[in-house]
Chains A and B, each alone.
Chain A
Amino acid sequence: MIHSLTQGLMSKALISGLRFVGLLILQLLVLNHIRIGGYVNPYVYPLFILMLPFAMPGWMLLIAGFMMGFVMDLMMSTPGLHTAATVWLAFMRPAVVRLVSGRPLPESVEEPGIFQLGGRWFFGYSITLISLHHLALFLLESFSFNQIGSSLYRTLLSVPVSEILILLLVYLFSGIKKR
């Protein structure tokens, strides 16, 4: 009993670890090379935080967000930028889950997903959090008041692209797991 429980935990940690590395590689080697007009910068790595189990305590979410952001910053030579945005995302996640669900989630659902909670739920959940993340990121990136307009423009153009990519990824991968 205990054995199988720890095994379950291990495999969950492993899946999260793989997701971390996979998203990192996708972000750095593919998405960071998308150059549409200079205002579209899609980011899918926050999906790592989005997909962590519901049972994960808040402090762990924050630490996970810090780690994800910090590694992104290391790779993109932008100290603090992605860290700040991703910690903010992790902090807001529980509140957004409550806001989008409206009622307590069924106990059988262990982690966010399209098939477990429905496409509409997942869309609302992901687009809210991705918008919060992107807005923080682009505001901090320009870090000046007279460029707020350009930061908002960036957010407005990038969020839909990120969101579509995230839905595609989640759809593809949860499809594999279901079958």
Chain B
Amino acid sequence: MYNLFRFLQKNHLLLLFLLLETIAFSMLLRSNTYHRSAAFKLSNSISGRVYNVQKTVTDYFYLQQANELLADENARLREELYNLSEKTDSLKVQTPESVFSFMQARVVSNSVQFRNNYIIIDKGSAQGLHKDMGLISSEGVAGIITGVSKNYATAISLLHKFAVISVRFKKSGQLANLSWKGGDYRLGQIDHIPTHLELKTGDTLVTSGHSHLFPPGILVGTIAEYYPSTNEALNSASISFFTHFNKLRQVYVVENHHKAEIDSLINTRPYE
């Protein structure tokens, strides 16, 4: 017993150090997969409020830019709406009840320079947000919501090591996975492209819709550079994002009303 006390006394610093590091690492590891990275609730509401104050000040400097972006988007939507009404006119299909709904939100905090970047927006559970909803900008895909508090939500940006999204080459219809390897915030990467696919720089990538977070067909990026593999294996390419992550101010939260249903199907596999 005496020896134990002596040991504790002699090494109390090391033991305290180990204890505190264990706490830190358990937090780190628990958050270390995308599905479990629901950042602390507390953090959302506190940091949300702090960043909100900052944003209300800095927003004024970007009003013009924001207006231009929204005007561009309006124009595009108007065009799409026009095309759509023409199509439905001649086809008279029964329109299914809408699967996806969109909600506008303001970015209160965002970063691009870290290895793992987060976006905090000014909508939360009070506005019906929950985990695993998609986040898109007017230009393209932006992130995935991982945690909500009452009035704010945290999303991992596409610029995050857990943000791997399923994309489709618009031209060939082939699927690929897009991820971000750090560094330049304008460039993502796709690996494991079959060599028989003919790709050109400038080819467009859209969401596949297979993750059920995003509707299919949302713009993601274009091929910036294409790296044929040296040993006839799988190729890779760097993708330039449509979304300007450095300028992100206005975003839309996408809700898939059928996600819970699809997930329950995926989770019940009787023959496994």
Contact = CB atoms under 8 A, between A and B. Distances in A.
B197 interface: no
Contact of A79 (B12, B27, B47, B120): B27
B25 interface: yes
- Main DSSP-derived SS at the A contact region: helix
Interface in B237-268: 246
Task: For chain A, give the interface size range.
Answer: 35 or more
Given A38-B112, A38-B183, A142-B115, A79 B16 contact: no
B112 A35 contact: yes
A22 interface: no
Contacts, number: 116
User: How big is chain B's contact interface, by range?
Assistant: 35 or more
Interface string B4-30: 000000001100110011011111111
22 contacts: A33-B111, A35-B113, A38-B184, A41-B114, A59-B12, A62-B20, A66-B23, A74-B43, A74-B46, A75-B46, A77-B120, A78-B39, A79-B28, A79-B30, A79-B39, A80-B23, A80-B31, A83-B20, A83-B23, A83-B27, A140-B28, A141-B114
Given A80-B28, A141-B115, A150-B183, 8 more contacts: A37-B184, A39-B183, A63-B20, A66-B20, A77-B39, A77-B154, A91-B13, A144-B161
Interface of B: 12-13, 16-17, 20-21, 23-32, 39-40, 42-44, 46-47, 50, 54, 111-116, 118, 120, 147, 154, 161, 181-185, 246
Interface of A: 28-29, 32-41, 58-59, 62-63, 65-66, 69, 73-81, 83-84, 87-88, 91, 138, 140-144, 147, 150-151, 154
